Structure 1
């Protein structure tokens, strides 16, 4: 095989892995009511299958680079696809909600390594001149997942059964396993530094406890359980600080937070994504449970948001160059939050064109928000801190998705029970998560963005994605 052919094969392998991972974060949402009916549980009790997947990815992503150095890129990437496929089969075979949650954890274990290891394989195999173009090609696969996911999920549910939203990964994964063995370069294992297992455990415990505290599964003494879990989350996070100071190679260096824009961007990302991550979970439920849409039609309704988001990416760099990150994020955050609040206006009497317009505005603004937040958070990190900062940033992204689903679903259940109206429960929930997103505008006001750097910084956002 020629060098160009091997390069092309590598990009297709990594793109396919990224597509599987991004597809699986969106394909489930439109199938939730059907899965709930099949498993004999309430649709709003289904958020654990989303949270389990994203939380597992958040906890295990930092270990991916160390595993690749320790055992080899090809071996770990092969294992990631294999575990992801096995997890998908287990998901399709689940007969109870508990079984499905456990299977999603297994799926998340494989998914947590697909994109980081894939990027690492590309970095080690292509020249620096080709790297940006290679990542741009791979990012297309990541954009196709959210576009195809909701519609594909609705179609599988309506044309066959919900099991196929997971079984679709099997043929893709089998081809991927063969391609990895056949085409992926076998990089030598490196002398990896000792992995900070204690630091990883502390942060994982903190994230898990915090997520469980948001939606404590214990019905009796729920407030006490939530308070205890919150306390455990805080103690675990604080315990990481002296641990990191005492370690030569901590999981994340505390010096990362000396860069002001990284700290502000990290907090802003967390707050903003909680609101925006609730939307892909709540909107299909609203459309199917309250407006009577079929699974396929509810999936098709998510297309305007996805397509508008893809088209809007080209506007980001010119807007940032002209107004700077601080002004852009302040205004765009208000648009995103307002669009989320506007979902509360959707009812059976709402014209279809209004629904599509709200979804399109949300999709366009949210896509630009993600790209700008990603870029402003990481752009000023040193070369030595870039890898560690990106890994921590990825953890926060996954955590925010899980929190958004937990908070959004929990608010619907709370308001529906309080006012004995599911329709009012959805409306009030959209208002609340929209307000949470709006609060991140105050966070972004604290960005340190000298006016003289705006043109230069605007160029960095072009390569940013989700």
Structure 2
């Protein structure tokens, strides 16, 4: 039994568990799928929403921004809330909040009402992602972690890919409100399965929250995300995005200083002293930024560059999800054979090629060939995501799992936004240099190449891992002579 800031908690023993860890992961993943599906499907429905609400489409960018800001701001407190009230109880409450907010979004009659409902959705989503991971980690042993994480990773891969075609279909067939209302049956089913199959995790006493740290982190993230989501879009006065970025960085610096000194910080920076958590979080963030451009760039290239329909673009983009599905049974044997260090280096380099290769696409490429290339790219990105999500918690003590899931969740949410920013900034810069207002195929070529370079840049950081890193999770064994300390 270990202590978490005064609270005693530990993973349940095999005799205490009521469900197979893969079943737990699949049930938890259903809620994460709902969230990721919603996030990507809403973008497809924006033009129809703008027409119905009688506003310019650019104004409705706030419907996406408000959700991302709320999601990012509330993630740091999720670990404390889960410890205080119990991870299962908080997760179920998060599903209820997210689903109820989806109904409010679907019933919105104006932009302010829609934005308020999206902020509430962000609150529910912030509790779902890290608490879901914590809920799973509390139920499994280290040797089960890799298999469970492979199941948990799938929603992150499938949701953003399947969201655009599903969002387009629902909008055309039933109207934009159905994009939100589809969450009701998914949320209800997920809630029932969690209540029925997932064992209870008792609440603890984590002590008082770090209110100063949470306020500084929340302000920093809100300002930074506001700047990131509005810069160059013309939806707010010209200097506001830059001011948001600068103020966000200033508050972020103050938050880090505070968290280094606080006894129980809102963001536990000492977790970065754990080599496996450090590399999977920092180097993994670089990888995720580059890889996160693909779900945005590929459908845009096919529609804007090649003149394909939304349905065609959606179905071809789905190839990445199929590649991810194919990797699920292969991830464990690959990591057992090569270990985390070698697998992460190799997969990042191969994934970099997969991310950059669409730069060679032309309208003359047959869609089946494009489909195959994207599927292969999804294969190795899935391996990388599974490895990163597993390695991050391989050496984290049970007492610090709550802090680790909050930290990792915040980092991953930031990289999701930064991946889109990298893509849009490169596209707009390329068009600006060429003296054009409209995007051309050449702009996408440059964007894919830049994204590939960013992905490849993560490989040297993974080389800093020791060969035996995460061996208790992967099952990979390194001879004593081959072991070394991680590079300083």
Q: Give the shorter-chain TM-score range.
A: 0.7 to 0.9
What is the Cα deviation at residue 63 of structure 1?
A: 2.1
CA displacement 1:327-346 (0-9 Å, x = unmatched): 33233222222222222233
Contact between 1:252 and 1:392, CA under 8 Å: does it hold in 2? Answer: yes
Task: Name the counterpart of 2:218.
Answer: 204
Task: Name the counterpart of 2:124.
Answer: 110
Task: Name the counterpart of 1:459.
Answer: 475
CA displacement 1:185-219 (0-9 Å, x = unmatched): 77765333111122122223333333333342685
* TM-score when normalising by structure 1: 0.81
Q: Which runs of 5+ in 2 are unaligned?
A: 1-14, 478-488
Task: Name the counterpart of 1:139.
Answer: 152
1:270-349 equivalent positions in 2, closer than 5 A: 270-349=285-364
- Matching of residue 232 in structure 1 with residue 247 in structure 2: yes
SS of the equivalent of 2:312 reads helix
Matches of 2:190 and 2:66, distance apart in 1 = 24
Task: Name the counterpart of 1:363.
Answer: 378
1:354 is matched with which residue: 330, 351, 369? 369
RMSD between aligned residues: 4.0
What is the Cα deviation at residue 168 of structure 1?
A: 0.2
Task: Name the counterpart of 2:102.
Answer: 88
What is the Cα deviation at residue 370 of structure 1?
A: 1.0
Q: Residues 422 and 94 (structure 1 numbering): CA distance in 2 closer, same or farther, change over 3 Å?
A: farther
SS of the equivalent of 1:110 reads helix
SS of the equivalent of 1:378 reads coil
What is the Cα deviation at residue 107 of structure 1?
A: 1.4
Task: Name the counterpart of 2:452.
Answer: 434
Q: Residues 158 and 344 (structure 1 numbering): CA distance in 2 closer, same or farther, change over 3 Å?
A: farther
Q: Residues 107 and 270 (structure 1 numbering): CA distance in 2 closer, same or farther, change over 3 Å?
A: same
CA displacement 1:168-193 (0-9 Å, x = unmatched): 01233345567777888777653331
- Matching of residue 377 in structure 1 with residue 369 in structure 2: no
Contact between 2:43 and 2:164, CA under 8 Å: does it hold in 1? Answer: yes
CA displacement 1:48-71 (0-9 Å, x = unmatched): 554543443233223223324444
Would you say how many aligned residue pairs link Structure 1 and Structure 2? 455
1:444 is matched with which residue: 452, 456, 462? 462
1:32-111 equivalent positions in 2, closer than 5 A: 49-71=63-85, 76-94=90-108, 100-111=114-125
Contact between 1:17 and 1:114, CA under 8 Å: does it hold in 2? Answer: yes
Task: Name the counterpart of 2:167.
Answer: 153
Which structure has the highest helix share of the two? Answer: 1
Contact between 1:20 and 1:169, CA under 8 Å: does it hold in 2? Answer: yes
Moved more, 286-295 or 332-341: 286-295
What is the Cα deviation at residue 98 of structure 1?
A: 6.4
What is the Cα deviation at residue 269 of structure 1?
A: 1.6
Q: Residues 68 and 325 (structure 1 numbering): CA distance in 2 closer, same or farther, change over 3 Å?
A: closer
Task: Name the counterpart of 1:422.
Answer: 439
Task: Name the counterpart of 1:464.
Answer: none
Matches of 1:173 and 1:181, distance apart in 2 = 12
* TM-score when normalising by structure 2: 0.78
